Structure 1
Amino acid sequence: MQFCRASSGCTVLIADDHPLFRQALALALGTAVPEARVIEAGTLAAAARAAAETPDLALITLDLKMPGAVGYSGIALLHAECPDVPILVVSAADSANAAGEVRAFGAVGFLRKDADLPQIEAAIRNAIDGAPAPATGREDTAGATPQTPVDRVRGTVAGLTPTQLKVLLAVLAGKLNKQIAYDLGMSEATVKAHMTAIMRKLDVQNRTQAALAARSLGLDLAL
């Protein structure tokens, strides 16, 4: 993981579709981590590109309602692109379970957008410093509770490659292989190969079952 240091600096990606909130987060970052360089993205696709192309990325702040994202898919995709970079979700989502769910898909913490500025600054510093996120009461401690089937499938979804996640999200959107191939710039045969790998990992028999598994984990949850 790339930590911010005053001597070398680092980059923080703010992924949010609201320019004013991006500006507010940038101001909070300027106070919390003054040596950080800030880059911004207004869509999930732009955030994924920026994450893949930024070698000194030290933190991603992510809104769950980004254009191109459904439910927790933004976390899963960015975590797959940069598994060692902490993702701090800052969202207006009002789901009672959101704090625990975002961690299950790879985020290090969750803040509501109406959190006060000192709380946001502290969360940013903790995420960059690698401090453990506060417990929500939902996460299992090591060895305390066996994984449920949902936990295991969620872990599988969170472990898909970026391309596999893009294919799965396209399936959730109801797109055919031909459409997916065009959108992702690959052949239909490659799409089929990715679907085969996805189904094998999810232990399902067809794309409908794969979509149902993803939906059951909140990947198309309207937040």
Structure 2
Amino acid sequence: MGLTVLIADDHPLFRQALALALATAAPEATVIEAGTLASAARAAAETPDLALITLDLKMPGAVGYSGIALLHAERPTVPILVVSGADNANAADEARAFGAVGFLRKDADLPQIEAAIRTALGRSPAAPDAHGDGAQGDGAHATVDRVRGTVAGLTPTQLKVLLAVLAGKLNKQIAYDLGMSEATVKAHMTAIMRKLDVQNRTQAALAARSLGLDLAL
């Protein structure tokens, strides 16, 4: 049985660069590519021998760290290596908190990328950090850590619904986009609100925003 690596990035030239690094780091691997978060999620769900996902945070359909959360929910046993141009100070720690096994900046040189790929291929993904160091700190940090863990533990469909709510879409629009009934959307929203321990969709959106899920990276 061979192994397959999914390269998720919206820039074709950078996908080529990653494929080149992968050819050296794991020459036996088959590469599949995705240019949007939706196509990456489909590929992750439909590829049985998937061994690694490399992910750019800033892709069409992704906001903040939502791509990690969604792909981790689709394939919780597949390691995710974030390769991103995000330069905020906490990006690497936040990426790991949502389920990534590593974080690499896009300006890394080819040997660094190759080494990171080899390391990631040998890693078993841990569960997203539901507590983190903040759970032992002040109440605000503990709350953020709890909500982050809850969001990271949502199902793929629940995450898609929550992201649509963050985008300001109504239930009717969400139902059309996701190919389900409005009643199903409402059922998912009820489950999301229960998990987040909030009373309405506005509070659910605010909880997600507190984690940087809608920050431009």
Q: TM-score, normalised by structure 1?
A: 0.90
1:179 aligns with 2:173: yes
Q: C-alpha separation between the residues in 2 aligned to 1:164 and 1:149? A: 21
Give the secondary-structure state (helix, strand or coil) at the position aligned to 1:148: helix
1:110 aligns with 2:103: yes
Deviations 1:61-89 (A, max 9, x none): 00011101001010010000000100000
Give the secondary-structure state (helix, strand or coil) at the position aligned to 2:150: helix
**Gap runs ≥5 in structure 2:** 127-131
The alpha-carbon deviation at position 149 of structure 1 amounts to: 1.3
Pick closer, same or farther for the CA change 1:164–1:131 going to 2, 3 Å.
closer
1:85-124 aligned at under 5 Å gives the runs: 85-124=78-117
Q: RMSD of aligned C-alpha atoms?
A: 1.7
One-letter amino acid matched to 2:203: Q
1:10-89 aligned at under 5 Å gives the runs: 10-89=3-82
Q: Is the 8 A contact 2:77 2:125 kept in 1?
A: no
Residue in structure 2 matched with residue 193 of structure 1 by the alignment:
187
Deviations 1:12-33 (A, max 9, x none): 0000000000000000000000
Aligned counterpart for 1:169 among listed residues 159, 163, 168: 163
Q: Is the 8 A contact 1:60 1:85 kept in 2?
A: yes
Using the aligned pairs only, state the percent identity: 89
Deviations 1:95-126 (A, max 9, x none): 11000000111111110000111111111111
Q: C-alpha separation between the residues in 1 aligned to 2:23 and 2:85? A: 22
**Gap runs ≥5 in structure 1:** 1-7, 134-138
Q: C-alpha separation between the residues in 1 aligned to 2:203 and 2:66? A: 17
The alpha-carbon deviation at position 145 of structure 1 amounts to: 4.1
Higher helix share: 2
The alpha-carbon deviation at position 131 of structure 1 amounts to: 7.1
Residue in structure 2 matched with residue 136 of structure 1 by the alignment:
none
Give the secondary-structure state (helix, strand or coil) at the position aligned to 1:14: strand
Q: TM-score, normalised by structure 2?
A: 0.93
The list of structure 1 runs, each at least 4 consecutive aligned residues, that deviate by more than 2 angstroms after superposition, is 144-147
Q: C-alpha separation between the residues in 1 aligned to 2:93 and 2:15? A: 24
Deviations 1:171-200 (A, max 9, x none): 000000000000000000000000000000
Q: C-alpha separation between the residues in 2 aligned to 1:129 and 1:104? A: 19
Q: C-alpha separation between the residues in 2 aligned to 1:85 and 1:171? A: 27
Q: C-alpha separation between the residues in 1 aligned to 2:42 and 2:200? A: 30
